[in-house]
A = this chain, B = another copy of it.
């Protein structure tokens, strides 16, 4: 299938879209990015890559990083990770502490903030933050097949300076014995992981291992990619996951920087970026763009 005309059309539509959402304003470094940006990249199972828009411009991947740290943690710890974090959608905002209280410090899933902190904490245990961040970067570089992927230290510092909510989650879990490292260390590592910058093209390439298709990088076992995809479907967009599944029909993981990684199993890895967010904190135009791509390609997993 020649996707380029489809991407060109979607790119043009997105550039012209009037309602572009609002950038995250909780840290200054993200707040100053323009909502004008749009980029999309698609790596298909036959090895091709298609792009539209600013597909080479690095952006802050933020929570999209949770997919890769989950893959790393499962590779290192296997299923024992699931004694510390659940696999259910939360029905609440990404940074809610309510369920932690009624569920004794076990986060509902690895894609809400509390769950991602547990995942990072699990990788960090017995290591230095610097080592772990190096390992995360190596994983991403191997997945993407290129080396020019870095942490934006100004963003990481800004996250740290405004990180009280995540520190609250971390201390809360520590109080329940569900954190192994000091909350400051776990949060510090997490803030740096969120501050990784990638272009849409790099992110689409880095997601290829989740396609589970021949010839793609194989970083984790197929049984595990299926399960990561399942979690992305039910939990990847916080309290907008049901809506994303309904509209797009593909597993995806969004970040507050406006990026979304979407997997069409067996077919494609898709990255989209537009910094303006909708009410649920997911990229407004990014969601719309992959919805149109899924409709044009018939890639919905739901028939």
Complex interface: chain B residues within 8 A of A109 (CB): 242
Binds B, one of A96-104, A133-141, A189-197: A96-104
Q: How large is the interface on A (under 10, 10 to 19, 20 to 34, 35 or more residues)?
A: 35 or more
Complex interface: chain B residues within 8 A of A164 (CB): 171-172, 174-175, 183
Complex interface: chain B residues within 8 A of A233 (CB): 233-234, 245, 302
- Residues of chain A having any CB pair with chain B under 8 Å: 86-92, 96-102, 108-109, 164-165, 167-172, 174-175, 183, 210-213, 222, 225-227, 229-231, 233-235, 239-243, 245-246, 249, 251, 263, 265-266, 300-303
A24 to chain B, nearest CB (A): 14
What is the total number of copies of this protein in its complex? 4
Q: From A174, A233, A240, name the one whose CB has the most chain B CB atoms within 10 angstroms.
A: A233
Kindly state the separation between the CA atoms of A87 and B89 in the bound complex, as whole angstroms: 13
CB atoms of B89 and A241 under 8 A apart = yes
> Which are the 9 A-B pairs with shortest beta-carbon distances?
A91-B91, A265-B303, A212-B303, A301-B301, A164-B175, A89-B89, A168-B171, A229-B302, A88-B242
Kindly state the separation between the CA atoms of A300 and B266 in the bound complex, as whole angstroms: 11
CB atoms of A234 and B266 under 8 A apart = no
Tell me which of B165, B227, B234, B300 contacts A234 (CB under 8 A). B234
A88 to chain B, nearest CB (A): 4
Kindly state the separation between the CA atoms of A48 and B53 in the bound complex, as whole angstroms: 47
CB atoms of A89 and B234 under 8 A apart = yes
Tell me which of B91, B96, B169, B227 contacts A108 (CB under 8 A). B91
Pairs across A and B, CB under 8 Å, 9 listed: A89-B91, A90-B91, A97-B97, A164-B183, A227-B246, A233-B234, A234-B241, A234-B245, A251-B302
Complex interface: chain B residues within 8 A of A239 (CB): 88
User: Given A183-B164, A233-B233, are A240 and B88 neighbors across the interface (CB < 8 Å)?
Assistant: yes
CB atoms of A172 and B97 under 8 A apart = yes
Q: From A100, A172, A230, A235, name the one whose CB has the most chain B CB atoms within 10 angstroms.
A: A230
Give A86's nearest chain B residue, CB to CB.
B242
Kindly state the separation between the CA atoms of A284 and B182 in the bound complex, as whole angstroms: 35
